[in-house]
Amino acid sequence: MRSLRREALLWLSGLLGVLGVASAASSYYLVQDETNSFLDSQLRQIAYYVDDTPSVPVRPTPDDPLYEPEDDFLVQIWDVAGRSILASDPGVPIVRRTTTGFSNETTPSETWRTFTYVTPQRTVQISQRLSVREELARDSALRSALPVVVLIPLSWLLLGFVIDRVMRRLDRLAAVVGAREADSREPIPLRDVPREVVPLVRAMNDLLDRLGRALERQRRFVSDAAHELRTPLAALQLQIGNVRGVAKGRDLLSRLADLEAGARRASNLVAQLLRLARYDADHRPAPADVLDLTALVEDCVREIAPVAAAAGLAVAIKAGTALRLRGVASELRILIANLLDNAVRYTPRGGTIEIEAGIGADGNGLVEIRDSGPGIPEQLRDRVFERFFRASAPTIEGSGLGLAIARSIAEHHGIAIVLENRACGIGLAARLSVPASVLIHGP
């Protein structure tokens, strides 16, 4: 996933770096050229005003505290006949030029920058070591470019700070959107939203509005359809019961039994659809009702015990520490009842169902329902939570919605639900894990 903050920082940092380097380079060469021009002008001025008095000039030596390499000029003066009038350093063999202008003169030891000034009365040549000039120009250029070079990383730091400040407004917008409830229909507020992001937020609000209307239509359709189907199915079951009272013949009674079973399955499916539609439409957090999950499990076991006994199943429960948490008792009762109903339905006659509730070894709350049924193949274990998916044989009644509803209720209460085949190789273990952070400890 590409980061807008990182991409903006990289592009702008690169742009600042290129501009900074270009500015430093241009400053370096411009100052260097300006320094050379200044030194050339200095040579010219000295040539114009130098005195031709034939005496030995006093020049500071390198040991003198007043010595400056840039002040160490070579002064040569010749008369009109070409005789030397003055030479500040006779040991430097720079020849006399016959035209006015600048030149670079090379001696056995080094190269000099020379300005020659020719008049009808004399010829004046002022020379300066080229190495000294280059060092002066380079130092001046570096001093001018150094601030720019130093400011480049500082500008990167400032740029990062500015981008963080700008992106912080987007982070606040993301926090506002992330904190919204799933069923919230209110538009995202535009207050404190950057002007450039306003079209995006408005488009999101428009999308949320359309999506909300579509979900509401879907929820209303499922709810209305379930309500509309419930009444005729109930009437059908009553009519089947009435016909059974006057029916004659074993074949007719068998057909009525099949018809009654089909009507009962349809009624259960409608009830499950209505319940699922309600859960899909209501994603609000569970209200702050404190309840005991262990006691709720015991109640559900007592309710299903007669059904299990009629199916020839042995039910055993081991209830330990009370698991107190905040939740909706009616929803959690449906969650546990669905798991118990699956255990009873898929366990063959003569099998066993074991229920355990308490604190697990990891400190989390634990509710486990173990049966001795066929279990679930590993490749289908995740799919059984999908709506209308059934991993069992078609002869076993079911709508394929029980586990989907169970997982929805568990997620609303922060409970993890896991299905695993038992280690003994026979049966399935349905485990509810309640995080310790969800449990309420103390009185």
Q: How confident is the model over 69-86, as pLDDT tens digits?
A: 555 788 888 888 888 888
Encoded tokens for 254: 């068998």
- What architecture does CATH give domain 290-434? 2-Layer Sandwich (3.30)
CA torsion sign for 107, 109, 113, 118 is: negative
Instruction: Check residue 226 and give its pLDDT.
Output: 62
pLDDT band at residue 152, thresholds of 50, 70 and 90? confident
- Sequence ranges of the chain with CATH classification 1.10.287.130: 195-281
- CATH architecture assignment, domain 4-140: 2-Layer Sandwich (3.30)
* Cα–Cα distance, 321 to 365 (Å, whole number): 9
How much is the average pLDDT of 274-296?
A: 68
Tell me which of 311 and 246 has the higher pLDDT: 311
Would you state the pLDDT for residue 368?
92
Sheet strands side by side (includes 428-434): 314-319, 352-359, 365-371, 428-434, 416-421
pLDDT score at 248:
64
CB atoms within 10 A of CB 112: 23
Please give the residue that has the higher pLDDT: either 276 or 281: 276
Res. 99: pLDDT tops 50: yes
Assign a CATH topology to domain 195-281: Helix Hairpins (1.10.287)
Top-confidence residue, 367 or 262: 367
User: Residue 126 belongs to what H/E stretch?
Assistant: strand 122-129
Please give the pLDDT value at position 2: 60
- Looking at per-residue pLDDT, the higher value among 101 and 32 belongs to 101
User: Which residues make up the CATH 3.30.565.10 domain(s) of the chain?
Assistant: 290-434
Nearest to 87 by CA among 115, 49, 126, 122: 126
Residue 293's nearest CA partner among 249, 339, 255 is: 339
Prediction pTM value = 0.47
pLDDT score of 352: 92
pLDDT at 304 over 60: yes
Gyration radius of the chain over CA positions: 48
Q: Identify the CA nearest to 428 among candidates 390, 372, 355, 383.
A: 372
Q: Which of 94, 124, 96, 135 is nearest to 111 (CA)?
A: 94
Mean pLDDT, to the nearest integer, of 380-407?
68
pLDDT value for 390: 62
Residues of the chain with CATH 3.30.450: 4-140
Better-predicted residue by pLDDT, 406 or 382: 406
Residue 56 clears pLDDT 50, i.e. is over it: no
Least confident piece of the model among 120-124, 219-223, 410-414: 219-223
Average pLDDT rounded to a whole number, residues 284-313: 83
Q: Rounded to whole angstroms, how far apart are CA atoms 146 and 134?
A: 18
Average pLDDT of the chain is 77
Model confidence at 269, in pLDDT bands (50, 70, 90)? low
The packing angle between helices 329-346 and 402-412, to 10°, is: 150
Q: What is the pLDDT of residues 337-381, one digit of tens each?
A: 888 988 888 888 999 999 999 888 888 889 999 999 888 887 777
Predicted confidence at residue 331, as pLDDT, reads 83
Per-residue confidence (pLDDT) for residue 298, from 0 to 100: 92
pLDDT at residue 58 tops 50: no
Q: Which residue has the higher pLDDT, 7 or 277?
A: 7
DSSP per-residue string spanning 235-268 = HHHHHHHHHHHH--SHHHHHHHHHHHHHHHHHHH
Average pLDDT (309-329) is 88
